[in-house]
Amino acid sequence: MKSRITALLFLGFISLGVLLGFNMGGDGPTGSKSNTTSSVPPITISPQSNEAVTYLDDFNGVNDTVGLKARGYKVWYRGGGPQGVAATWFQGNSTVFSAYEGPATGYVAANYQVVTGTNNIDSWLVTPRINVGSGDTIAFWSRSPDASTFPDSVRVMYSAVGDSTPEATSWVELGRFKTSVVTWTRASYRTASAGANARFAIRYNVVSGGPNGANSDYMGVDYLTVATGGGGATTCSYSWATQVSGTPNQFLTVSTVSDQIGWAAGVGPTVVRTVNGGTTWTAATGTGITGDVYNIYAWSANDALCTTSPSATNIYKTTNGGTTWTQVYTLAGGFINAIQMVSATEGYAEGDPVGGKWTILKTTDGGNTWARMATEPTQVGTEAGWNNSLHIVGTNMWFGTNATKVYRSTDLGLTWTSGATTGTVNTYAVHYNTASVGLAAGNAMVLSTNGGTSYSAVTNPGTAGNMNGLEGAGSDWWSIRSGNTVYRSTNGAATWTNAFVSGTAVFQDLDFAITGSNTCPSGWAVGNAGVIAKMTGTPTGVSTVSSEVPSSFLLKQNYPNPFNPTTNINFSLPQTGLVTLKVYDMSGKEVAVLLNEVKSAGSYIVGFSAANLPSGAYFYRLSSGNFVETKKMLLVK
């Protein structure tokens, strides 16, 4: 029999929970913060694939901690503070939404209640060991509750040697994305290296999560596969467009979070950001920053770090989109060149030598505090570094110097070596597409194929100016050299072409990102007089997203929309047949034929470029058999 005291304590707890912002709905520890539901039933999958699936988990069985471990998974909690009332990963809750396929609860889930109060979430689901080949693809379906206003995000990790704990140094991030709040969506990522006993990890990784946090709700993962071949666009088209930054000040640095979110900063201080792909840029200098901003690193629309060096060198952090900035580190006599976070909590900064040692800083609390590492490399002569010239891939870290060398660490700063960059004294920019292949550039460009142990000369883009920016993905590279041109190479820096020319611009930095299921990078280049230009990467032709057989025809709304000038169109076919996808203007005139061929059952993505069309509304129509559907899209140039 419940005593009166117990009942009163229980009621008191409920009242306190409501006041503190806890979701006191009936879903319990495995529920949704937004308390929304979805009535879409699971589909039935009849696999038909041109891929060789080497591993599949449909999550139709038991997905609590015991069930997952019995299948060889590792489950790790690495969130901030003590663990909350929810398990790290747990059985799907069909009252929030049903599984993508199979039984309604046949998926694995994680939610905001894995931590307490307001804390960063970092929940690892590590797969069993899998024999993975170079270029193999991991793919899975994920989603969050309908119309949730508490963003969930996922990072996909890979260890070729099969490490099983988050602290291992072999993990490489394949990509990250925010989960859909509309429907189940498929994400897929390719590996760059083989491993006979490799592991993948799906990380539910959210900054400022928890019951009282601004982010994190509930997310599910279903139908995970590892396959040889397929799984994403292999060919990309790129378009460039100048944008209005709203400032005449010189930009020195830019950080791309996604194709929609970007931050740029420079002289003034000046900080601007966009949350709509650059359609509008708004001031984010706020209060608290002193001095010109030489480097900025952002990981969301709200969270960013930047560095200035007016006398002492400083690091500032914002958690509210740049409204206010808080000084989180200062060092007399130094100059911090660049910052990069490698997780929601862990990050590194590199700066010029102070006291005979290079300045290598580390944070383990999301950038709130920083400390110099005891293993900083010793300064040789008068060597120093350059702003933005730092890059981290997995556990590998590189930074440029003024001394014909690039410093390199393979264990995130615990030990250091260097590689000679004969041909260029200054290395104003360093970028690696993999842990092995990277470029360094100054007055000349050099290539390493062994992770920075050595470098050799390659063709220089253009003919004049210092090469002060590098980006890359796969075999593609982009470079700037203190002028109005962005150069591109598609063959490992053997030859270069002009990718974009912008009047009298003098570009100072560029930064791209690959996010979600789009394997084509997008991002921004910035420079003098507030110049800012966006590159948008779009899959070309028709790429297979999934050859799993859908239950019905589906034509999705193009994304992005509005667009300029490229966009993606996704559709699904439940049966093989002749498919046409055409674009019409407002008068009904056909302006493009994107597809007119027989396609097998499956899900597809088509890239569309309207570079030669005027601004306005257009319609795209999918026809196959008796199915016809038309949707509207808006081109804004």
pLDDT value for 545: 59
Q: How far apart are the first and last CA of the chain?
A: 70
pLDDT value for 52: 60
User: What would the mean pLDDT of 511-516 be, rounded to a whole number?
Assistant: 80
The contacts found for 495-499 with CB under 8 angstroms, 24 or more apart, are 495/459, 496/459, 496/460, 496/461, 496/462, 499/238, 499/240, 499/535
Read off the pLDDT of residues 272-329 as tens digits, 9 standing for 90 and up: 999 999 999 999 999 999 999 999 999 999 999 999 999 899 999 999 999 999 999 9
Residue bearing tokens 């300064």: 379
Per-residue tokens: 613: 């069309």
Q: How far is the C-alpha of 513 from the C-alpha of 140, rounded, in Å? A: 20
Domain 30-228 indexed as CATH 2.60.120.260: yes
Read off the pLDDT of residues 354-382 as tens digits, 9 standing for 90 and up: 999 999 999 999 999 999 999 999 999 99
pLDDT value for 177: 84
Ranges of each domain in the chain: 30-228, 236-539, 549-635
Fold of 236-539: Methylamine Dehydrogenase; Chain H (2.130.10)
pLDDT value for 10: 32
Report whether pLDDT(211) > 60: yes
Looking at domain 549-635, its CATH superfamily turns out to be: Macroglobulin (MG2) domain (2.60.40.1930)
pLDDT value for 4: 27
Considering only the C-alpha atoms of the chain, give the largest distance between any 2 of them, rounded to a whole number of Å. Answer: 86
Q: How far is the C-alpha of 438 from the C-alpha of 455, rounded, in Å? A: 9
pLDDT value for 254: 97
Lowest mean pLDDT among 46-55, 242-251, 378-387, 451-460: 46-55
Report whether pLDDT(12) > 60: no
pTM: 0.59
Mean of pLDDT over the chain = 86
